[in-house]
C-alpha cells in the first residue's frame, strides 16, 4: 500500500507519497506541483535514492520490479486538458512517452515493465504494451466514472485489480484481454444498486429492508454511498396512495440505520418529504379538507427542512408551501395564503435561489396591492421561520 514519507533531495527534505513495486525492492515517490513550483518524482531502491525529477504534475505513478517508473502528468481532476504518460527506467532513460487526449488518468505498470494500464475519467480502461506501442485491451467499467488500477500476479498470470479508492479492498480483476476473472461481493452489490430503480413497481417493504440490511452489514463507504443515493433517486411520481403509505412506513422503520452519515440521513428525509407531499396532494380536493391534509403538509415540510441547505430541501419546501397556499386561496383565506408565499420568498432571499413561480409572484403581488394582511396559518403555523434558517448564514 502507498505511504507518505519524507526524503532528502539535495538540500531539501520533501514529503511524497510512495508506491512500492510488487517485489518491494523499488519505490516511486510523487508529489504534484503547486503555484510555487513543479512537482517531484523520485525512484528509491531499498532506501537509497536512484534519481529524482521535477515534472509539472505527477498525479498517478507506479513502478515495476526492474525499477521502471510510469507517471501520468496532468493538471486537474475532471478537466479535459490531456495527460502526458511516460515510462522512465531506473537509469533515467525514457522508455515510453505519449501525450494523450484523456482526462485525469490513474495508471500502473506491470511487474515485468512491459504493460501499463490507464484509467481515464469517463472513458474505458486501456492496457498498453509499451514495447510494441500497441493497445492490448480496452475495458468498460461497470461502475463509477474512473477506477484506480494496480497490477497483481494470480497463479502466475498478470491481472489488473480495480479499486474506487487507493486504500480500499479491490472490487474486481481482469486479465490482459479485459475479461473479468474475479469480483468481490461488494462489487456485485454495487452493480445491483447502480441499476435498480425505486418506483411504484417494487415492493418497498421488501426492497428497503434488504437495502438497510446491506447498508448496515457493509464496511465499504462507496457501497453505502451507492445504496443511499439510490434511495435518494426514488421516483414517486406514479405511486398511488397505498404505495406512498408503504414508502413512509418502511423508510420510517429503517431510517435509524442511516443516521451515522448526515448526507445519507438527508436522502431518506428527501424521499419521505416527497411521499408526504404527494399524499397531501392526493387528499386535496374541493374546498374542504380534513386534519390529515394539514398534518401531511407539516410532515412534508419537516422532512424537507432536514435536507437544507440542499436544493431538494428548498424546492420541496416551496412545493409544500405552494400546495398550502393554493388550499387557503380556495377557502378565501388570503392572509394565510400570503404568509405561505412570503415564506417561499424568504427561502429565495436566504439561499439566493429562484423558487416562486410566475403564478406565485402574481398572486403575492395581488395580495400586496390589496393590502391583504399576512396571517399565520391556523392549522400549521409557519412552516419556515427565520430562526430556523439562521444556522445556514
Task: Give the pLDDT score at 169.
Answer: 86
pTM above 0.85, yes or no: no
Decide if pLDDT at 187 tops 70.
Answer: yes
Query: With 0-12 CB in 10 A as exposed, 13-18 as middle and 19+ as buried, what is 233?
Result: middle
CA distance linking residue 382 with residue 386, whole number of Å: 10
The pLDDT of 78-101, averaged and rounded, is 89
What domains appear along the chain, each with residue ranges and CATH number? 3-183 (2.130.10.10), 191-392 (1.25.40)
Task: Name the band, by pLDDT with cuts 50, 70 and 90, for residue 373.
Answer: very high
Q: Give the DSSP per-residue string, 111-177.
A: TTSSEEEEE-TTS-EEEEETTTTEEEEEE--SSSS--EEEEEEETTEEEEEEESSTTSPP-EEE-TT
Cα torsion 120, 167, 180, 159: sign: positive
Question: Cell match 502528468: residue?
Answer: 73
Q: What distance lies between CA 149 and its chain's CA centroid?
A: 20
Task: Give the pLDDT score at 18.
Answer: 97
Task: Name the band, by pLDDT with cuts 50, 70 and 90, for residue 283.
Answer: confident
User: Whats the size of the chain, residue-wise?
Assistant: 393
Decide if pLDDT at 77 tops 70.
Answer: no
Task: Give the pLDDT score at 285.
Answer: 61
Contact at 8 Å (CB) between 293 and 337?
A: no
Region of poorest pLDDT, from 128-137, 221-230, 361-370, 380-389:
380-389
Q: Helices 334-351 & 358-369, crossing angle to 10 degrees?
A: 120
Query: Of the spans 33-42, 137-146, 252-261, which averages the highest pLDDT?
Result: 252-261
Based on its alpha-carbon atoms, the radius of gyration of the chain, rounded to whole angstroms, reads 28
Q: What percent of the chain is helix, strand and coil (3-state, nearest 5)?
A: 40, 25, 35
Task: Give the pLDDT score at 76.
Answer: 64
Contact at 8 Å (CB) between 350 and 308?
A: no
Decide if pLDDT at 79 tops 60.
Answer: no
The pLDDT of 84-92, averaged and rounded, is 96
The pLDDT of 350-373, averaged and rounded, is 95
Task: Name the band, by pLDDT with cuts 50, 70 and 90, for residue 42.
Answer: very high
CA 196-200-205 angle, 5° bins: 75
Task: Give the pLDDT score at 286.
Answer: 54
Decide if pLDDT at 322 tops 70.
Answer: yes
Task: Name the band, by pLDDT with cuts 50, 70 and 90, for residue 284.
Answer: confident
What is the DSSP-derived secondary structure letter of residue 24? S
Q: Helices 241-254 & 262-283, crossing angle to 10 degrees?
A: 150
Task: Give the pLDDT score at 222.
Answer: 86
Instruction: Return the SS3 of 382.
Output: coil
Amino acid at each position: 500500500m502507498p505511504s507518505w514519507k519524507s526524503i532528502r533531495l539535495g538540500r531539501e527534505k520533501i514529503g511524497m507519497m510512495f508506491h512500492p513495486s510488487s517485489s518491494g525492492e523499488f519505490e516511486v515517490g510523487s508529489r504534484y506541483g503547486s503555484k510555487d513550483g513543479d512537482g517531484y518524482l523520485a525512484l528509491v531502491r531499498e532506501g537509497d535514492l536512484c534519481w529524482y525529477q521535477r515534472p509539472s504534475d505527477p498525479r498517478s505513478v507506479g513502478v515495476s520490479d526492474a525499477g521502471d517508473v510510469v507517471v501520468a502528468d496532468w493538471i486537474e481532476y475532471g478537466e479535459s486538458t490531456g495527460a502526458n504518460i511516460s515510462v522512465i527506467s531506473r537509469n533515467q532513460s525514457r522508455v515510453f512517452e505519449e501525450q494523450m487526449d484523456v482526462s485525469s488518468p490513474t495508471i500502473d505498470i506491470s511487474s515485468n515493465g512491459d504493460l501499463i494500464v490507464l484509467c481515464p475519467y469517463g472513458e474505458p480502461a486501456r492496457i498498453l504494451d509499451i514495447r510494441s506501442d500497441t493497445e492490448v485491451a480496452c475495458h468498460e467499467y461497470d461502475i463509477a466514472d474512473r477506477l484506480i488500477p494496480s497490477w497483481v500476479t494470480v497463479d502466475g498470470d498478470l491481472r489488473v485489480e480495480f479499486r474506487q479508492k487507493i486504500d480500499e479492498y479491490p472490487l474486481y480483476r481482469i486479465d490482459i484481454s479485459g475479461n473479468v476473472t474475479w469480483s468481490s461481493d461488494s462489487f456485485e452489490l454495487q452493480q445491483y444498486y447502480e441499476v435498480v430503480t425505486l418506483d411504484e413497481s417494487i415492493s418497498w417493504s421488501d426492497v428497503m429492508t434488504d437495502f438497510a440490511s446491506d447498508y448496515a452489514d457493509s464496511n465499504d463507504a462507496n457501497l453505502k454511498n451507492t445504496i443511499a443515493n439510490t434511495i435518494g433517486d426514488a421516483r414517486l411520481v406514479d405511486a398511488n396512495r397505498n404505495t406512498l403509505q408503504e414508502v413512509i412506513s418502511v423508510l420510517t422503520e429503517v431510517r435509524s440505520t442511516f443516521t451515522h452519515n448526515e448526507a445519507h440521513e438527508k436522502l431518506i428525509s428527501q424521499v419521505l418529504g416527497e411521499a408526504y407531499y404527494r399524499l397531501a396532494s392526493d387528499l386535496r380536493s374541493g374546498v374542504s379538507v380534513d386534519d390529515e391534509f394539514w398534518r401531511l403538509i407539516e410532515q412534508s415540510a419537516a422532512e424537507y427542512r432536514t435536507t437544507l441547505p440542499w436544493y431538494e430541501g428548498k424546492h420541496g419546501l416551496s412545493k409544500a408551501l405552494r400546495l398550502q397556499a393554493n388550499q387557503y386561496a380556495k377557502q378565501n383565506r388570503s392572509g394565510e395564503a400570503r404568509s405561505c408565499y412570503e415564506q417561499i420568498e424568504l427561502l429565495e432571499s436566504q439561499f439566493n435561489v429562484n423558487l416562486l413561480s410566475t403564478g406565485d409572484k402574481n398572486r403575492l403581488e395581488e395580495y400586496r396591492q390589496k393590502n391583504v394582511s399576512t396571517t399565520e396559518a391556523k392549522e400549521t403555523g409557519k412552516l419556515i421561520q427565520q430562526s430556523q434558517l439562521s444556522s445556514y448564514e
